[in-house]
Amino acid sequence: MTRVLPLILLPALLAACREHTAPTTRAALLRPYLTELISTRADEFDSSGNFRSPSPHSPIAAILFANVLKTETPLGDSAVAYLLFVRNQDNSGDDLVCEVAARGDRMLPIINLYAGALPPTGLEPLPKGILGTGVLVPDARAMIAKGEHCNSE
């Protein structure tokens, strides 16, 4: 039986865990989010790709995604670049592209490296529907090249 924490407690729990167990590798930073994303897809879609119902993992995945985007370190840069190659159906990708563009030129070598081959996270092989095509990469590269940033609302 799976227990679901009340959503009101989840942000506090995640913050506490992050303070005491700061990830030391890109894979360690990505794994919690990717694990929840994989669980979300397994709950929401059947083997034919038909939507069944919303997953209780979805809000947790959204919080973990936001936490990855907030990680302003070289480790965070690597994780954010990796996410350009992951399909997140709950998010259009605008937040991710904006975050990549805000980090600027330092992101280009990482993006170019990952375009050739993604480094392992320890969750391979990623399920069908998780690994993306890199469709967000051209937008991110273009914004970086132009020095553009998204307007915060």
Please enumerate in sequence order all residues whose Cβ is within 8 A of that of 13, keeping only pairs 6 or more positions apart, or say none: 5
More confident residue, 118 or 20: 118
How far is the C-alpha of 16 from the C-alpha of 22, rounded, in Å? 10
How far is the C-alpha of 77 from the C-alpha of 130, rounded, in Å? 20
Question: Would you tell me how many other CB atoms lie within 10 Å of the CB of residue 143?
Answer: 18
Residue 11: name the closest of 48, 85, 66 by CA: 66
* Phi, psi dihedrals of residue 86, rounded to the nearest 5°: -115, 140
Three-class DSSP labels, the chain: CCCCCCCCCHHHHHHHHHHHCCCCCHHHHHHHHHHHHHHHHHHHECCCCCECCCCCHHHHHHHHHHHHHCCCCHHHHHHHHHHCCECCCCCCCHHHHHHHHHHHHHHHHHHHHHHHCCCCCCCCCCCCCCECCCCCHHHHHHHHHHCCCCCCC
User: Which range, of 49-53, 81-85, 136-140, averages the lowest pLDDT?
Assistant: 49-53
Helices 94-103 & 74-83, crossing angle to 10 degrees?
A: 140
User: What mean pLDDT is predicted for residues 29-34?
Assistant: 95
Which pLDDT belongs to residue 90? 62
User: Which range, of 28-32, 49-53, 59-63, 90-94, averages the lowest pLDDT?
Assistant: 90-94
Q: What are the tens digits of pLDDT across the range 77-136? A: 999 999 999 987 666 788 999 999 999 999 999 999 999 999 999 999 988 788 888 899
